[in-house]
Amino acid sequence: MILNEISQHKIKIYEFPDTEDDEESKLNKILKDRVPFAVVGSNTVIEVDGKKVRGRKYPWGVAEVENLEHCDFIALRNMLIRTHLQDLKDVTNNVHYENFRCRKLAGLGTDGKPARISNNFFIDFLAQCRNPLAQMEEEKRDHDAKMKKMETEMEQVFEMKVREKKQKLKDSEADLQRRHDQMRKSLSQQIAELEERQETFEKEKKQWEQLNNITLEEMRRRSLEANSKE
């Protein structure tokens, strides 16, 4: 009934901000259902269930201030101080103060006194006044654009770092492969040299045995026998 009268007389009241958070949406719905808030002030302290509480005495009984079944004081206090304080401040600064400033500036002349201006001038001036909500929306778009640009730049930097890391790993892998190939080549050369020296030794050994008409094994055997006789 009261809300109908408020709407009928075009009285603007606080509008709870839209939110995508489920918990905040539930909280806003609970608060909206209590609008307009019914608040009573206390004029006495009473004892309920062994606990002292503030209340107001009426002929028909006592209304407890901090009992949501009796009044909306707690809901209003939580909204003003705990949950919607920052939004209320933002609306006050960005909407009410800006509208007040715009109206005041529209009614002042260059000398600071109320100026007589034509309707067309007044309309033109109001057209130049920026709508606070539109300004907030524009600032939000600018902020989103900056965040998008920053996000893009961060992604580009990240991709560049990834490419650099991959290139370093690729270069390191190529260097390891090159060193591995060099070591294999060096080992192959050493093996080839040893085989060549072994082959040369066998040839020289055979030539010596043919020249002296005795093998190294026979010569070693005779040397051992001579040593044993001594």
CB burial of residue 184 (10 Å; 0-12, 13-18, 19+): exposed
Q: How confident is the model at residue 43, as a pLDDT?
A: 81
Instruction: Phi first, then psi: give them for residue 53, nearest 5 degrees.
Output: -135, 155
Q: How confident is the model at residue 194, as a pLDDT?
A: 93
Task: Read off the pLDDT of residues 163-206 as tens digits, 9 standing for 90 and up.
Answer: 999 999 999 999 999 999 999 999 999 999 999 999 998 888 88
pLDDT band (50, 70, 90) for residue 109: very low
Between 10 and 164, whose confidence is greater?
A: 164
C-alpha 26/C-alpha 33 separation (Å) is 11
Cα–Cα distances in Å, from 135 out to 85, 132, 140?
A: 21, 5, 8
Between 13 and 198, whose confidence is greater?
A: 198
Task: Read off the pLDDT of residues 35-47 as tens digits, 9 standing for 90 and up.
Answer: 787 788 788 887 7
Q: How confident is the model at residue 42, as a pLDDT?
A: 80
Between 154 and 29, whose confidence is greater?
A: 154
Q: For the chain, give the mean pLDDT.
A: 79
SS3 content of the chain, % helix, strand, coil (to 5): 70, 10, 25
Task: Read off the pLDDT of residues 45-90 as tens digits, 9 standing for 90 and up.
Answer: 877 777 888 888 888 887 887 877 788 888 888 777 777 778 788 8
Instruction: Phi first, then psi: give them for residue 104, nearest 5 degrees.
Output: -65, -45
Q: How confident is the model at residue 110, as a pLDDT?
A: 42
Between 82 and 97, whose confidence is greater?
A: 97
Number of H helices, E strands in the chain: 8, 3
Q: How confident is the model at residue 126, as a pLDDT?
A: 53
pTM of the model: 0.37
- Lowest mean per-residue pLDDT among 16-30, 86-100, 101-115: 101-115
Domain ranges, ordered by start, for the chain: 152-229
